[in-house]
Amino acid sequence: MTEITTEIEDSVEDTRLPRRLKEEVYGTIEDREVTPKEASEIAAAVESRYLDTRIDPLDPVGTVSAQSIGEPGTQMTMNTFHYAGVAEIDVTQGLPRLIELVDARKTPDTPMMTVHLEDEYAEDREKAHEVVWSIEATKILALGDISTNVADMLVRVDLNEGTLAERWPTAEDTEEVAIEIADIIEDSLGVSTARDGMAIEFGPEEPSYRDLFRLVEELRDVTFKGIEDVNRVVIRKEQLAPGREEFVLYTEGSAFGDALEIEGVDASRTTCNNIHEIYRVLGVEAARETIIEETMNTLEEQGLDDVNVRHLMLVADIMTNDGTIQSIGRHGISGSKDSVLARAAFEVTVNHLLDAAINGEIDDLNGVTENVIVGKPIKLGTGDVDLRMGAARREDQASEGDGEEARAD
Amino acid sequence: MSDQTPKEIGSVSFGLMDPETYREISATKIITADTYDDDGYPIDMGLMDPRLGVIDPGLECRTCGKHSGSCNGHFGHIELAAPVIHVGFAKLMRRLLRGTCRECSRLLLTEEGMDELRSRLVRTQQLGEDPQDVLKAAIRQARKTDRCPYCASEQYEVKHEKPTTYYEVQDVLVGDYPEKMAAAMQPGGSGDEESGDTGATSPQELAEETGIDLSRINEILSGEFRPRPEDRQSIEEALDVDLTEEDMNKLMPSDIRDWFEDVPNEDLEVLGIDAESSRPEWMVLTVLPVPPVTARPSITLDNGQRSEDDLTHKLVDIIRINQRFMENREAGAPQLIIEDLWELLQYHVTTFMDNEISGTPPARHRSGRPLKTLSQRLKGKEGRFRGSLSGKRVNFSARTVISPDPTLSLNEVGVPERVASEMTQTMNVNLQNLEDARRYVSNGPVGHPGANYVQRPDGRRLKVTEKNCEELAEKVQAGWEVNRHLVDGDIVIFNRQPSLHRMSIMAHEVVVMPYHTFRLNTTVCPPYNADFDGDEMNMHALQNEEARAEARVLMRVQEQILSPRFGENIIGAIQDHISGTYLLTHRNPQFNKTQALDLLRATQVDELPAADGENDTGEAYWSGRTLFSELLPEDLDLEFTSSAGDEVIIEDGQLIEGTIDEDAVGAFGGEVVDRVIKTDGSTRARVLINEVAALAMRAIMHFGFSLGIDDESIPGAAEEQIDEAIDNAYDRVEELITTYEADELESLPGRTVDETLEMKIMQTLGKARDSAGDIAEDHFADDNPAVIMAESGARGSLLNLTQMAACVGQQAVRGERINRGYEDRTLSHYEPNDLSAEAHGFVEHSYRGGLDPQEFFFHAMGGREGLVDTAVRTSKSGYLQRRLINALSELETQYDGTVRDTRDTVVQFEFGEDGTSPVQVSSGEENAIDVDAIADRVVEAEFDAEGSEAVAAAARPTNLSERADDRSAGLDLPPAAEAATGGVNDDD
C-alpha cells in the first residue's frame, strides 16, 4: 500500500542488512500503511535485531560447538541396532554412530545406501524392481538348487526358470540368461560347464572330493548379477512431496560409485552413509554435506533434533578443511596440530616430545592448551583483545597539548 | 631480586642435549649409589647431594644458596662407563642405521634423490604435515641401495632386536671354503660346464678366469689363506658357488655412536632432522643427567625411616652397575662379562626412561609394584601433561554439598559463613573505603565480615589474628591491602562436574548464609544438571578486578539463560514450579483479595490489578491468569500451544487464555521466557523467571499438592477391563505361536520367521500395555496429581502412570524379549521352548499391584541393562567430548567474520554459513528475524506512545549487580531475597 519512495529506499539502504532482509523490509513496508518516518524506524528496528543475532567477533565458536555436540552425547543410548526409518534394515544408531562419524572410519559398521530413482522408474513397481535386481547381489542360491553328484564328480545347478525371468526382466529368453550364468561360472571358477536347458553341470578337472566341495563353496560366493557389496535391497513406497509417491530403495551394504552407474538410479538424490565413499565419488564438498546430514540424522533419531546445525557444520568443516577427510582425534586434527605441547597433552605424550626433539621443533605457544601449560592467558575471547587502557589520565593529556587547541576552537 | 621480575614465555624449543652441555650444567658428578650417611646427612657426590637442591626445610642449597621452596633444584650427572642407547629413539636409530653408509655415514641417496627430498620436506612443512613421513620415505628409498653412492662400499642389512639391540647381517666366508671350492672344481660339480671344457676346473684355469695368482689360489685351496672379499666374489662367480653364510654382527652402542658422528649435517637436514639442535650421536648416551632432588623428593615416614622416590631407586641401580662395569673393565674381565654388564647397564638406563617397554620386564619395587619412571610420569590422565600442566590446582576454591533455596534470585548463591571467611577478596585501601577496611580488620579472622591478612605498602604481609585485630585495624592506612572475607554481592564462580557445556560454570553473587551447604535457586538446576540428593559443587573466589568484571558481564547466570546448543532458554521453571503455574492457570481459579495478595507476596508486584469481578457473595475476586499476567512485560503478545494442549493467548502482557505450563515457562525452551529474553533482555528474563518461580511456589502451597499410593488406584471394574485386555493379548500371542509352530507364519521382508514372530509378539504386547494404560487413564480424574504432572510436563509421563496403575509391560534386553537364562528357557519355572508372553519377561501386573517373583526378576534384568548402558555411555561420550573439544578448541570468529584457528587457517568464511549466533536464534527457527512482527511492533509503539522513543532505541538495562539492574529497569523494589538479606555493598 505504501509506495517505496527514494526517502524510504535511502533509509533502508543505509542499514547494514543483507540483501534478503532488505527485500523483506521493502515487502513489509509495501504491505502496510506507513509514513516514511515509520518506515525508517522499521528498518532501524530490523537492523537492530539483525545485529543482535550476529555472532560476536572473537567468540570461541569451536569450543561451544564441541560442547553442543558432546553434551547431548551423554543423553544418547548405546543400544546400537535400531531402525532407521526402514524397519527391515538395521543401522547403527546413537552414540556409536556419532563416534563412528567423528572418527571418520573407513567403512561404517552398517554401510547403507538410499537410492532414489529417476522419474519413469520411481513410479512403476516393475521398473523399480528392475533397478533392485541390478543392485542387489544375486547369488546362486537365489537362482536355483545345487546338487553334487559324487559318483560322476559333478556339481549340478538346476536353475529356477521363474526366478530367472523375474531377475532378468529385460532378457527375452531365460535360455540366454542360463547361458550367461554358465559363462559367469566358467569365468569365476575356471571350469568348463555343460548346459542342458536350465541345468548346468561342471566338475573339477581331476576327480577329487576336495576340489568338488571347494567348487560348491566357491559357487555360493559368486555374484551373478548386481553389486557384490550389496547384500539386500528393500523397496519402499514413500511420499516425498504431497501428492507424489515414489519408490525408494534402501540397501544393506554400499557401493556408491557402482550404484550411481546403474540405469534408472537418480544420481542427484541417491546417497550413502559412508563418508569416504561419498568423498571418493563426489568430492569433499559432498563429503562435508554428508557429515552434517548424517550427524544431524543420528541426533534426530535420538530426539535431540534441537541441536543447532551450525555446530555440526563447524565440525564437518574442520574435518574437511584440508581437502581430505580428517578424523577428530589423535590420527587426525589433534595429531596434526602445530604445537608440540598441545599434541603431547592430548595423547601419546612421550612420542610427540621425542619426535619434537629430533625435528628441533619450536612451539610458539599460539594455541589454547600450550598457553594453559605455560600459564599465559589464552588467545581466545577476551584474551584475544589487545586493547589496553593508557597509563596517563585523559585530562592530563588534554591539558598538555591538543586539549588547548580544542578548547580554543 | 632481578631474576624475580615477571617474565612471559615466548616460545619453547625442543632438541637433544649435547653431552658436553650436560656436564656444564651439572652441579656435581654423582659417583656413589648411597643417599644418606648414618647421621642422616646426604653424602657428597651421592644421589642426594645438597648441591642438587634442597627439600628439607631449613637447609640451604649449596649451589644457589636458596632455601627449600625457592630453589628449583639443579641437575647432576653420571659418567656412564660405556655408551648406552636411549630407548625412545630406538626406532629412529634403526632407520638411520639402515639409511646411512656403514663406512662413510653418508645418506645412501644420490644428489638428485636428496634434492627431491629436500623440496618434498619444504612442501611438507608448508602444508603443516608430519615431517616424519618424509623421513620414512627417504629411508625406504635409501635402504634399496646396496652400495654407497659416495664411497662405493657395500651395505648390509641392519636387524633390530627390540628394544635396544642392533645387528649387522653380513655375508662372511664359510669355514669350509676349501672343501666347497674343491667340490665345485670337480667334474660334474656345479662348475661352468657350458665353457666346453671337460667339466673339471683346474687351479690354473681358475687363476686365469679370476685374475688371481696361481700360488694364491693354491694357498686358498689348501686353506692356508682366506680370500679377500673381492677375490671371494670373483671365485664365486667363476665357480658358481656360494662361499658365504649370514653372520650377525652385533653393533655395540659405541659403534653406533661412531657411525652417527660422521653423518654430515646436510644429509640429516634432508631427513628433517635438525642437526643444529639434535645430532644423532647424542641419541647414544655417554653421560646421564641426574634429575634434581626436588624432582624426586624422599619422604620421611612416621617411624623416621626415609622412603625414596622411584627415580632415585632407578638411579641407584644405574650407579651400582656403572661402578661394577668400570671395576670389571679395569680388572680386565673377560669380554663376555663386560658384555653382560653392558647389557645390564642398558636395561637400567632403558627402564629409567620408560618402564613400560614391551618385551622388557619392568623394573619393580621391592614390593613388586612396577616403578614409575620418567615416561610414566609424563603419560596419561594423571601424568605431568594432562594432570599437572593442563589441569592446575587453584587456591580460593571451596566445595560442599548443595541444597535448594527458593528465596534466592537465580543469580545468587548462598555461601556458608565458614566458606565466606576462608575465601578472601583483596581490598585496596584508600580514603573512601578506609572505614570499611578498618571495620573488616577489627572483626578479625573469625567474626564474619572480617579479614584474614593485611599487606603493608612495603610488601610485608601480616596475618590478622583475634589477638592483634583491634591493634592492626588502627594501623590500616590508605595504600594498604586488606584481604577481607566474602560479603553479600561479591561475585564468585560456581561449577558442577561434569562440566559438559559452558553453563556448567557460571558466576553468581554471594549471599552469606548460616549452616554448611551452598544454596541455589532451583531454576539453575537444569544448566548444572544438579539435584539435591547429595551433589557437591565448587566455588571459586575471583582474585582480580579484570576477572571479576568479566565474570559479571559474561558469566553471570542471567547471561547464560540462553543455551548455545539450541538457542532457547535453558533456565526456567521446573517440576513444582510448573505444577504450580498449571494449577494457577489451567482452570483459571478465583482468589479473594487476601489470597491474591498472598500469592503475589514473594514477587515485586505490590499492588493488585483491577478485580476480575465479584463472586456470589459480592466479594471481589482475581483469577489465576490475571495474577500470572502481573509478572509479564506489558507489551508481550504471544500465541502458542501449551503442552497441556490448549491455545495460549497473551495480548499486551495479559494472559487471555490458556494454561501456563512447561511449554510456556519451562526450562529448555519455554515460549514466554524465550520471547522475553530475546526482546527485553536478560535482566527482564531473570526477573520473570524468579517471579514465576516465586508465584508458582505460593500457588502450589495454596492448593496443596501431594502424590500417594491411592492416587494410582483404579476402580475394580477398570482392573477387570485391564485384565481382559491383557488376556486378549495373551490369546493373540498364543495364536501367533500356533501359526508359527504350524509353519504358517509369513515372514516380513528381509526377516526370518523367528524374527517375525518375535516382532509380532512384541507388537501385540506393546499394544496390550498401551490399551491397559488407556483404560487406566480413563479412570483418573483430571485433578489427579500424577496426571497434572504428566500433562503439564512437570515430571513423569503417562507411561509412568500406566506402569504404576495398570501394567508394567514387556521387559527387554538388547531390544528383544528376555531370552537368556537356562537352556531353551528363561527360568526353570517354564517348559523348554515356551514362547509365551509370561515366559519371556512380560510383566502383566502394575507396580502398585506388585510384581510376582518371576516378573520381578525379569524386571531386574531389564533394569540392569539400563545401568550398564549408562556406565558405558558416560565413558564413551566423555572421550568423544574430549576429542571434539581438543580438535575444535582453537576455532574463533574474527573481526572479519571468518572462523579461523590459531594458525590463521580459515575454517569457515562465515560461521554457520550466515554468521548467525546460535545463542540468539532458536535452532528450529527457519528465519532468524521476523520482519513482519518487528514492523507490527514498531507501528503499534508509534500508535501507543506518539512521540516517545521507538522500540529500536529503547535503552536496555545495564548488567551490573542485581540492584543496579533493577534500578535502571525501572523496577522499584529489589527482589524479595535481596531485601531479606540486605546486601552489603562496600569497598570498590
Terminus-to-terminus CA distance in chain A, angstroms? 50
Residue of A nearest to B876 (CA): A95
Residue B485 in any domain: the answer is yes
- Domain of residue B316 covers 309-393
B58 vs A75 pLDDT, higher one: A75
* Final residue belonging to a domain, choices B813, B835, B868: B868
Residue B600 in any domain: the answer is yes
Contact A306, A68 (CB under 8 A): no
- Of A24, A88, A357, which has the smallest distance from its Cβ to B14's Cβ? A357
Contact B467, B505 (CB under 8 A): no
Domain shared by B688 and B734, yes or no: no
Interface of B with A in 702-741 (CB under 8 A): none
Measured in angstroms, the CA of A407 and the nearest CA of chain B are apart by: 32
This prediction's pTM: 0.85
Residue B197: CATH number of its domain = 1.10.260.40
B893 and chain A in contact, CB less than 8 A = yes
Domain shared by B854 and B744, yes or no: yes
Enumerate residues 6+ apart whose C-beta is below 8 A from A132: A233, A235, A249
Residue B853: CATH number of its domain = 1.10.132.30
Asked if the Cβ–Cβ distance from B750 to A88 is below 8 Å, we say: yes
Domain shared by B505 and B632, yes or no: no
Q: Region A4-14: what's the mean pLDDT?
A: 78
Measured in angstroms, the CA of A314 and the nearest CA of chain B are apart by: 7
Asked if the Cβ–Cβ distance from B566 to A365 is below 8 Å, we say: no
Asked if the Cβ–Cβ distance from B934 to A368 is below 8 Å, we say: no
Q: Region A40-52: what's the mean pLDDT?
A: 82
Confidence of residue B959 (pLDDT cuts 50, 70, 90): low
Report ipTM (2 d.p.).
0.86
Q: Tell me the C-alpha distance between B266 and B254, whole Å.
A: 23
B550 and chain A in contact, CB less than 8 A = yes
Residue % of chain B over a pLDDT of 70: 92
Residue B73 in any domain: the answer is no
Q: Quote the pLDDT of residue A121.
A: 81
What is the C-alpha R_g of chain B?
42
Cell output for B151:
664411497
Give the number of other CB atoms < 10 A from CB of residue B332. 7
Is the per-residue pLDDT at B561 higher than 70? yes
For residue B841, give the 3-state DSSP assignment.
coil
Confidence of residue A1 (pLDDT cuts 50, 70, 90): low
Residue B195 in any domain: the answer is yes
Domain shared by B418 and B387, yes or no: no
Cis peptide before B633 (omega within 30 of 0): no
Residue % of chain A over a pLDDT of 70: 93
Residue B500 DSSP label: -
Residue B208 in any domain: the answer is yes
Write out pLDDT tens, residues B745-771. 887 766 778 888 888 888 888 888 888
Q: Tell me the C-alpha distance between A21 and A215, whole Å.
A: 70
Q: Tell me the C-alpha distance between B581 and B577, whole Å.
A: 6
Q: What pairs with residue B36 in β-bridges?
A: B42
B126 and chain A in contact, CB less than 8 A = no
Residue B71 in any domain: the answer is no
DSSP string across A75-102: TS----EEEESEEEEEEE-HHHHHHHHH
Helix (H) or strand (E) holding B315: helix B310-330
Q: What is the 3-state secondary structure (H, E, C) of B397-428?
A: EEEEEEEECCCCCCCEEEEEHHHHCCCEEEEE
- Of B872, B890, B924, which has the smallest distance from its Cβ to A78's Cβ? B872
Confidence of residue A178 (pLDDT cuts 50, 70, 90): confident
Domain shared by B506 and B412, yes or no: yes
Asked if the Cβ–Cβ distance from B917 to A384 is below 8 Å, we say: no
Q: Tell me the C-alpha distance between A108 and B177, whole Å.
A: 61
Confidence of residue B582 (pLDDT cuts 50, 70, 90): very high
Q: Quote the pLDDT of residue A319.
A: 92
Residue B225: what residue type?
Answer: F
Asked if the Cβ–Cβ distance from B554 to A315 is below 8 Å, we say: no
Q: What is the largest CA-CA distance in chain A?
A: 122
Grid cell 562440566 is found at: B499
Asked if the Cβ–Cβ distance from B815 to A79 is below 8 Å, we say: yes
Grid cell 494457577 is found at: B584
Grid cell 552425547 is found at: A73
Domain shared by B386 and B406, yes or no: no
- Which residue, among B94, B888, B257, has the nearest Cα to A59 in the 3D structure? B888
Domain shared by B662 and B746, yes or no: no
Grid cell 628449583 is found at: B72
Domain shared by B610 and B498, yes or no: no
* Final residue belonging to a domain, choices B185, B214, B242: B242
Write out pLDDT tens, residues B31-57. 888 778 777 777 888 888 888 888 777
Contacts of B938 in chain A (CB under 8 A): 38, 41-42, 45
Residue B692: CATH number of its domain = 1.10.274.100
Helix (H) or strand (E) holding B287: strand B284-290
Give the number of other CB atoms < 10 A from CB of residue B41. 11
Q: Quote the pLDDT of residue B234.
A: 75
Domain shared by B741 and B847, yes or no: yes
The number of domains in chain B is 5
* Final residue belonging to a domain, choices B813, B844, B868: B868
Write out pLDDT tens, residues B878-905. 999 999 999 999 899 999 989 998 888 8
Picking from A55, A83, A237 by the largest number of B CB atoms within 10 A of its own CB, the best residue to mutate is A55
Asked if the Cβ–Cβ distance from A350 to B913 is below 8 Å, we say: no
Asked if the Cβ–Cβ distance from A76 to B873 is below 8 Å, we say: yes
Asked if the Cβ–Cβ distance from A69 to B884 is below 8 Å, we say: yes
Q: Quote the pLDDT of residue B943.
A: 60
Confidence of residue B947 (pLDDT cuts 50, 70, 90): very low
Write out pLDDT tens, residues B697-728. 999 999 999 998 888 888 888 888 888 888 89
Looking at B69-73, B82-86, B595-599, B792-796, which range is the least confident one? Answer: B69-73
Q: Quote the pLDDT of residue B967.
A: 43
Total length of chain A: 409
Cell output for B735:
495364536
Measured in angstroms, the CA of B295 and the nearest CA of chain A are apart by: 18
Residue of B nearest to A35 (CA): B939
DSSP string across B235-270: HHHHHT---EEEEEEEE-HHHHHHHHHTS-HHHHHH
Confidence of residue B961 (pLDDT cuts 50, 70, 90): low
Contacts of B890 in chain A (CB under 8 A): 62, 367-368, 380
- Of A47, A346, A367, which has the smallest distance from its Cβ to B890's Cβ? A367
Our measurement of the distance from residue A276's CA atom to the centroid of its chain's CA atoms, rounded to an integer in Å, reads 9
Domain shared by B696 and B736, yes or no: no
Q: Tell me the C-alpha distance between B50 and B59, whole Å.
A: 9
Residue B203 in any domain: the answer is yes
Measured in angstroms, the CA of B341 and the nearest CA of chain A are apart by: 27
Domain shared by B735 and B857, yes or no: yes
Cα atoms in the Cβ-side hemisphere of radius 13 Å centred on A158: 4
Residue of A nearest to B938 (CA): A42
Domain shared by B738 and B855, yes or no: yes
Q: Quote the pLDDT of residue A67.
A: 92
Residue B112 in any domain: the answer is no
- Of B8, B877, B942, which has the smallest distance from its Cβ to A70's Cβ? B877
Q: Tell me the C-alpha distance between A69 and A134, whole Å.
A: 39
Looking at A403-407, B113-117, B602-606, B960-964, which range is the least confident one? Answer: A403-407
Contact A72, A304 (CB under 8 A): yes
Q: Region A74-87: what's the mean pLDDT?
A: 64
Helix (H) or strand (E) holding B612: none
